[in-house]
Amino acid sequence: MSKQISLQEAVLHVKTGMSVMVGGFLGVGSPHRMIDAILDTGIKDLTIITNDTAFADKGVGKLIAARRVVKVITSHIGTNTSTGEQYHAGELEVIFVPQGTLIEQIRCAGAGLGGILTPTGLGTVVEIGKEVIHVDGKNYLLEKPLKADVALLGASIADEEGNLYFKGNSRNFNSIMAMAADLVIAEAKEIVKTGSILPENVHTQSIFVDYIVR
């Protein structure tokens, strides 16, 4: 059964109120066409899990600027003025997570782990409401797994089975997010025959990818 679907079919899998992981670093490696397609619908009240909120006119930031998002779990919002304005106005919930902790929380969900122990955030606002665990004379915060209903990825090349290649730094969070969502949709700039991507260039294996959009 082919994993290739149309852009319109892909958007049907994203529903109001869902939690959505979106790959990308300041828009690099983001699924731009799927983001634009979501904007053409009435989908709203999304919880977005992403490294950063890009820019108000680029990447996942466009969803925030259009007020389709009620909550963001991220490590950085400084490049998107719309995120900051809505956050300070009390219109958008923002949960700040240190970047390394964020990627490890996502990885834990994909690997079936119960969480990670990290010293990052001890003695800061990051610690509020979290369990502190003492190990070998040191304190650590317990950071729990982070998963989503859907992950939207931006790949450079996909083969027909769903194996993905990410050029340069477009890989960023994409590969890890592919492991941590109930449904994974990859938007690829190019789709090639299965076997065309060298095994060592497969950054995300097809078993993690449910659908592909050209």
Q: What is the pLDDT of residue 44?
A: 97
| Strand ranges inside the chain, DSSP E | 19-22, 46-49, 69-74, 93-96, 116-118, 132-135, 138-143, 148-159, 164-165, 181-192, 211-213
| This prediction's pTM | 0.93
Task: Say if residues 181 and 13 touch (Cβ distance below 8 Å).
Answer: no
Q: Are 79 and 101 in contact (CB under 8 A)?
A: no
Backbone φ/ψ region at 112: left (φ over 0), alpha (ψ -120 to 50), beta: left
For the beta sheet containing 132-135, the strands, ordered from the edge strand earlier in sequence to the opposite edge, are 116-118, 138-143, 132-135
What is residue 125's predicted lDDT score, i.e. its pLDDT?
Answer: 87
Domains of the chain and CATH, by start: 7-112+146-193+201-213 (3.40.1080.10)
Residues 160, 4: contact at Cβ < 8 Å? yes
Hey, how many other C-beta atoms are within 10 angstroms of the C-beta on 22? 29
Distance CA 63, CA 114 (A): 31
Quickly list DSSP for 148-160: EEEEEEEEEEEET
- Per-residue confidence in pLDDT tens, the chain, 214 aa: 789 999 999 999 999 999 999 999 999 999 999 999 999 999 999 999 999 999 999 999 999 999 999 999 999 999 999 999 999 999 999 999 999 999 999 999 999 999 999 999 999 988 999 999 999 999 999 999 999 999 999 999 999 999 999 999 999 999 999 999 999 999 999 999 999 999 999 999 999 999 999 8
* Whole-number pLDDT of residue 2: 85
Q: Is 209 exposed, middle or buried (0-12, 13-18, 19+ CB in 10 A)?
A: buried
